Amino acid sequence: MIGRLNHVAIVVADLAAASEVYRHTLGARVSEPVELPEHGVTTVFVELPNTKIELLHPLGADSPISGFLHKHPAGAIHHLCYEVADIGAAAETLRKRGMRILGDGKPKLGAHDKPVLFLHPKDFCGTLIELEQL
């Protein structure tokens, strides 16, 4: 069902400092910050040859990642994103297999304007999983 690893998301305390680490210390290609008010995050994308790293920082008072940053003030891996060909079919199959989809269970447009879903970490080895339809 799942295909390539699309990205690994890391919540960081300081987007500029994290961008510096990836751009200058590690020598990667790093985007400018993009604010996504409807998701309550500001993102920076790091392009690697085989995947991406998504640096996330809370945006606005009730960002869904504020609590996570509070628990992990030094920053931490937040989720993994796997690609799927058909997100509706993937959701239905996972539901039949007893897996929990977060929120209302319906795909939403994610950071790349592609439909995404999030899966319950307790069903997936303690890891928050994002599915993205290409």
Catalytic annotation, residues: 130
- Per-residue binder mask for Co ion (CB under 5 A), 46-85, x = binder: -----------------------------------x----
Identity of the residue, 98 or 131, whose beta carbon is nearer to Co ion in the bound complex:
131
Q: From the list 9, 11, 59, 129, which residue makes contact with Co ion (rule: CB under 5 A)?
A: 9
SS3 of residue 116 by DSSP:
strand
Cα(51)–Cα(8) distance, rounded to whole angstroms?
A: 8
- Residue 90 tokens read as 């993937």
Q: Is the four-CA dihedral 62, 68, 131, 10 of positive or negative sign? A: positive
Residue in 55, 107, 130, 131 binding Co ion, rule: CB under 5 A: 130
Segment 81-110, which members bind Co ion (CB under 5 A)? 81
| Nearer CB in complex with Co ion: 23/82 | 82
Q: Is the dihedral of CA 8, 14, 15, 18 positive or negative?
A: negative
97-104 long-range Cβ contacts below 8 angstroms, 24+ apart? 98/123, 99/123, 99/124
Q: Per CB under 5 A, which region of 3-11, 37-45, 59-67, 120-128 contacts Co ion?
A: 3-11
- Contacting positions for Co ion (CB under 5 A): 9, 81, 130
